[in-house]
A = this chain, B = another copy of it.
């Protein structure tokens, strides 16, 4: 939604680490704070930044406030990238065309020119 806030939130390594942790599953603030050499208030504010950026959401469970990943902002970043993929993803055009053909119901017996790194990039 608000790319300014989203990119700004993602610019901090602590916040990206928090997201990486949340990718493993919902958890509490204290638990999120453990790996970091900083006080709880600092983590608490990082979470607020992530929340206002649309990157996480928080619920309430007794005195805990479990956090989870919120897809909206991530999707917005991905969509913003759409206008630029052609600059770095050589397989973009070819693959796009190929998928469109498949969707049109036309089954192609020939595989696309081999190395389509996209999505497969485990590296």
Question: Which residue numbers of A lie inside 8 Å of B, CB to CB?
Answer: 3-8, 10-13, 16, 19-20, 23, 69, 71-72, 74-75, 77-85, 87-89, 92, 95-96, 99-100, 102-103, 105, 107, 109-112, 114-116, 118-121
Known: A78-B89, A109-B107, A111-B103. A3 touches B16 (CB 8 A): yes
Q: Which 5 A-B pairs have the closest CB atoms?
A: A71-B88, A7-B11, A8-B11, A75-B88, A7-B10
- Write out the residue numbers on chain B whose beta carbons fall within 8 Å of the beta carbon of A74: 81, 84, 87-88
Q: Please state the number of chain copies in the assembly.
A: 2
Q: Which B residues are CB-close (under 8 A) to A109?
A: 107, 109
| Cβ contact within 8 Å between A85 and B96 | no
A78 and B81 form a contact (CB under 8 A): yes
Chain B nearest CB, measured from A52 CB (Å): 13
Would A19 and B84 count as touching, CB distance under 8 A? Answer: yes
Please name 19 pairs of A and B residues whose Cβ atoms are closer than 8 Å in the assembled complex, sorted by A.
Answer: A4-B11, A7-B7, A7-B10, A7-B11, A8-B8, A8-B11, A11-B11, A20-B83, A23-B83, A74-B81, A74-B84, A75-B89, A78-B81, A78-B88, A78-B89, A95-B119, A103-B114, A103-B116, A107-B109
